[in-house]
């Protein structure tokens, strides 16, 4: 079983060369992200991830969280690690300084969060959900709610959850039945049950702040009648300290395929008379507010896919270097060699490596755009950056998580039979990755968002602007010398053309035949992700060539980046035309059978 070490060199390359962290640091409110500070934060985060969190990953998976009579105990070492995590200030890294945060840009915090997730995904889920709750309260809560909750949540003293799903509703939030009954003092009594609540109960903090979707008795039907409420585990005293136990209780935790150390709770509200809740924002706008949390979470879950893929790659690479088996092909009578010398093992490792690097590049670039959307003094830049982020969120969530299932499975394959044995640890990454394409909206939900709100609604205008940027890089490749760049350009050109065809089809078809467009929605999402990743890999190759020509930096790193970009073009980006064909032509076969014919 391998340890984890953050890929700092690649992170620094992407942050500086592709995400342009210097430009981010020039934005109002981001000035503290100096090169020295960034390097120090990354170094310290790597130490914490590799030294504290990673050693708990395997033991947490084996021990799991446990439930007893409504109380949940986290795995051994969890409480102590969480205390260290808070004391080191990691919970406050990107939070608002007004409430005790450090206010560092999302571009930097994204790299740090990748480390937490790769080192110990189950642990990282707790601060991830808390950050989403912080954003919802900060943007939609009353001044009193902000004063009561934000500082303690940002410090990590309290954690937060999001409560959407109910047994009968699943992803259909229009079917939410949890009730909110108004009280004379302005509070509400909450009655109902929520399932799949990550860290809905645990022993790491003395309060948990639940954000809960519920419906007033006279609310409109469907999603228009949903409101959002703060329901703390302990009702606050006048001085802000936790007081009486609220009527929200954990009736069980789920037994899951993976993320065993993350308690996934079933919460009952109001079984003993009513849980006290407080309205966030305006009545019947709860789903709108909850989407603040969900968009934060969707980006973070996409990042989980990348992180798990990298953890699996590191373990597979270490195993391939150590495992001696067979002789090298074409070397008759040669000595036994490590499996890294075998062609198909190299292909598998390069497939993992190239996709991870493409995904990291795209994710950090989207994080930088988020910083521009929030901090740029130019209104036009804010608007265009936000449009790009909105388009990319379902792609980050859907593509990276679906790919993580494939990549972590490849990690098992590299290990051969030993990968199927739990003691090696390779299987854990595969099991943990499987949930990422399901929670915070399945891949189909992301894809439906992408074809509808993000493509058809504006006639593909935002997508076409991104495609125009891709064409600029294609033109730059035409001016670069060398076989590698000719190959990269060929695949990128074909990929962008395929994406253009798919965008046109979705924009033209969605309004006329939504079923036909929906059949192609997931292939469209994968197509967009693969081509966007190829765009970033092409940029990385061009920059690496310039650095080599200048004679600056680590020549081996830059040459490897060019070679990895070439592999991505040949083996991953080359899939784009086939995906576009499925988008445009795939509806007939998918929709033809009657129910009885299945």
Residues 261 and 78: beta-carbon distance below 8 Å? yes
- Average pLDDT score over residue span 87-94: 96
Residue count (the chain): 598
From the CA atom positions of the chain, what is the Rg in Å? 24
Q: Place 309 in a pLDDT band, splitting at 50, 70 and 90.
A: very high
Q: Are 568 and 350 in contact (CB under 8 A)?
A: no
Whether residue 223 has pLDDT greater than 90:
no
172 pLDDT above the threshold of 80? no
C-alpha 528/C-alpha 393 separation (Å) is 12
Backbone angles phi, psi at 219, to 5 degrees: -70, 150
**C-alpha atoms less than 13 angstroms from C-alpha of 341 in its C-beta half-sphere:** 15
Interstrand relation of 264-269 and 227-232 (parallel, antiparallel or unpaired): unpaired
Interval 358-387: pLDDT, tens? 999 999 999 999 999 999 999 999 999 999
| Residue 216: CA count within 13 A, CB half-sphere | 19
CB of 1 closer than 8 Å to CB of 315 = yes
Q: Residues of the chain with pLDDT > 90: what percent?
A: 94
Q: What does the alpha-carbon distance between residue 564 and residue 566 come to, in Å, rounded to a whole number?
A: 5
CB atoms near residue 171 (< 10 Å): 13
> What's 420-449 look like in SS3?
HCHHHCHHHHHHHHHHHHCCCCCHHHHHHH
Q: What is the rounded distance in angstroms from the CA atom of residue 391 to the CA atom of residue 372?
A: 15
φ, ψ dihedrals at 375, nearest 5°: -120, -15
- Among 13, 575, 53, which Cα is nearest to 307's? 53
Helix (H, G, I), strand (E, B) or coil at 195: strand
What's the average model confidence in pLDDT over 91-115? 97
Q: What is the pLDDT of residues 444-494, one digit of tens each?
A: 999 999 999 999 999 999 999 999 999 999 999 999 999 999 999 999 999
Q: Encode pLDDT of 521-562 as tens digits.
A: 999 999 999 999 999 999 999 999 999 999 988 999 999 999
Helix, strand, coil: what percent of the chain each, to 5? 65, 10, 25
- H or E element, residue 128: helix 121-140
Give the distance from CA 19 to its chain's centroid.
17
Q: Which residues pair with 264 in a beta bridge?
A: 198
Q: How far apart are CA 538 and CA 470, in angstroms?
A: 9
Structure tokens at 31: 């000035």
Mean pLDDT for 272-297 is 91
Tokens of 60: 């947490």
Q: What are phi and psi of 528, to 5 degrees?
A: -60, -40
pLDDT in tens, 117-144: 999 999 999 999 999 999 999 999 999 9
Question: What per-residue confidence (pLDDT) applies to 445?
Answer: 96
pLDDT > 90? residue 76: yes
* CA distance to 227, 294, 314, per residue, from 514 (Å): 29, 25, 42
Structure tokens at 270: 């109001």
Q: Which of 505, 532, 535 is nearest to 521 (CA)?
A: 505
For residues 383 and 581, give the distance between their C-alpha atoms in angstroms, rounded to a whole number. 33
Q: Are 367 and 106 in contact (CB under 8 A)?
A: yes
Q: Which of 304, 402, 440, 484 is catalytic?
A: 440
Q: Are 308 and 117 in contact (CB under 8 A)?
A: yes
Contact 306, 119 (CB under 8 A): no
The pairing of strands 208-214 and 159-163 is parallel
Buried (b) or exposed (e) across 43-78, using 16+ Cβ within 10 A? eebbebbbebbbbbbbebbebbbebeeeebbbbebb
Please say whether the beta carbons of 342 and 326 come within 8 A: yes
| Cα–Cα–Cα angle for 344, 120, 258, rounded to 5 degrees | 75
- Lookup: tokens for 465: 């602007």
Contact by Cβ (8 Å): 528, 579: no
The predicted-structure confidence for 571-582, as pLDDT tens digits, reads as follows: 999 999 999 999
80 noted as active-site residue: no
pLDDT for the residue 512: 97
Burial class (CB in 10 A: 0-12, 13-18, 19+), 84: middle
Residue partners of 43: CB distance under 8 A and separation at least 6:
8
- Cβ pair 187, 278 in contact under 8 A: yes
Burial 261-300 (b: 16+ CB within 10 A, else e): bbbbbbbbbbeeebbbbbbbbeebbbbebbebbbbbbbbb
If you average pLDDT over every residue of the chain, what do you get?
Answer: 96
Provide the pLDDT confidence category of residue 1 given band limits of 50, 70 and 90: low
323: helix, strand or coil? coil
- CA distances for 228 relative to 165, 211, 279, 352, 400, angstroms: 13, 7, 6, 41, 30
Whether 75 has a pLDDT exceeding 90, the answer reads yes
- Predicted TM-score (pTM) of this structure: 0.97
């Amino acid at each position: 079983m391998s340890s984890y070490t953050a890929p700092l060199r690649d992170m620094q390359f992407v942050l500086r060369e592709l995400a342009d962290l210097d430009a981010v640091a020039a934005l109002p409110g981001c000035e503290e992200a100096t090169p020295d500070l960034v390097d120090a934060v990354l170094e310290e985060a790597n130490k914490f991830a590799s030294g504290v969190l990673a050693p708990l990953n395997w033991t947490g998976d084996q021990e799991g969280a446990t439930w007893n009579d409504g109380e949940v105990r986290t795995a051994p070492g969890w409480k102590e690690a969480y205390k260290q995590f808070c004391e080191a200030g990691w919970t406050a890294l990107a939070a608002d300084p007004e409430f005790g945060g450090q206010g560092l840009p999302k571009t930097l915090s994204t790299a740090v969060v990748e480390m937490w997730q790769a080192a110990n995904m189950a642990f990282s889920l707790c601060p991830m959900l808390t950050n989403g709750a912080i954003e919802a309260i900060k943007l939609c809560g009353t001044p009193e709610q902000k004063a009561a909750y934000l500082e303690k949540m940002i410090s990590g003293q309290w954690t937060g959850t999001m409560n959407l799903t109910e047994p009968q509703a699943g992803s259909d939030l229009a079917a939410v039945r949890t009730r909110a009954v108004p009280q004379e003092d302005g509070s509400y009594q909450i009655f109902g049950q929520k399932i799949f609540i990550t860290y809905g109960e645990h022993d790491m903090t003395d309060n948990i702040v639940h954000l809960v979707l519920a419906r007033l008795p006279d609310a409109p039907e469907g999603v228009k009648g949903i409101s959002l409420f703060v329901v703390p585990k302990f009702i606050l005293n006048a001085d802000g300290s936790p007081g009486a136990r609220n009527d929200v209780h954990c009736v069980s935790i789920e037994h899951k395929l993976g993320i065993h150390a993350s308690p996934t709770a079933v919460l009952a509200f109001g079984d003993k008379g009513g849980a006290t809740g407080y309205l966030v924002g305006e009545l019947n706008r709860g789903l709108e507010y909850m989407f603040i949390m969900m968009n934060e979470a969707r980006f973070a879950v996409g990042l989980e896919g990348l992180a798990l893929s990298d953890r699996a790659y590191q373990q597979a690479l270490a195993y391939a270097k150590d495992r001696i088996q067979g002789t090298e092909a074409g070397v008759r009578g040669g000595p036994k060699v490590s499996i890294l010398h075998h062609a198909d093992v190299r292909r598998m490792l390069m497939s993992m490596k190239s996709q991870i690097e493409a995904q990291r590049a795209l994710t950090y670039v989207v994080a930088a755009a988020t910083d521009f959307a929030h901090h740029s003094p130019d209104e036009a830049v804010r608007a265009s950056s936000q449009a790009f982020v909105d388009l990319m969120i379902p792609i980050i969530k859907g593509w990276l998580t679906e790919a993580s299932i494939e990549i972590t499975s490849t990690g098992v394959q590299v290990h051969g039979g030993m990968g199927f044995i739990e003691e090696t640890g390779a299987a854990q990454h595969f099991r943990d990755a499987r949930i990422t394409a399901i929670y915070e909206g399945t891949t189909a939900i992301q894809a439906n968002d992408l074809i509808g709100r993000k493509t058809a609604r504006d006639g593909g205008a935002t997508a076409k602007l991104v495609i125009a940027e891709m064409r600029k890089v294609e033109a730059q490749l035409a001016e670069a010398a060398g076989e590698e760049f000719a190959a990269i350009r060929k695949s990128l050109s074909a990929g962008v053309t395929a994406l253009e065809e798919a965008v046109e089809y979705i924009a033209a078809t969605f309004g006329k035949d939504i079923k036909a467009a929906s059949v192609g929605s997931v292939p469209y999402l994968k197509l967009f992700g693969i081509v966007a990743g190829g765009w970033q890999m092409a940029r990385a190759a061009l920059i690496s060539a310039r650095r080599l020509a200048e004679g600056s930096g680590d020549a081996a790193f830059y040459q490897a980046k060019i070679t990895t970009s070439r592999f991505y073009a040949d083996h991953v980006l080359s899939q784009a035309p086939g995906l576009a064909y499925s988008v445009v032509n795939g509806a007939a076969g998918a929709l033809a059978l009657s129910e009885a014919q299945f």
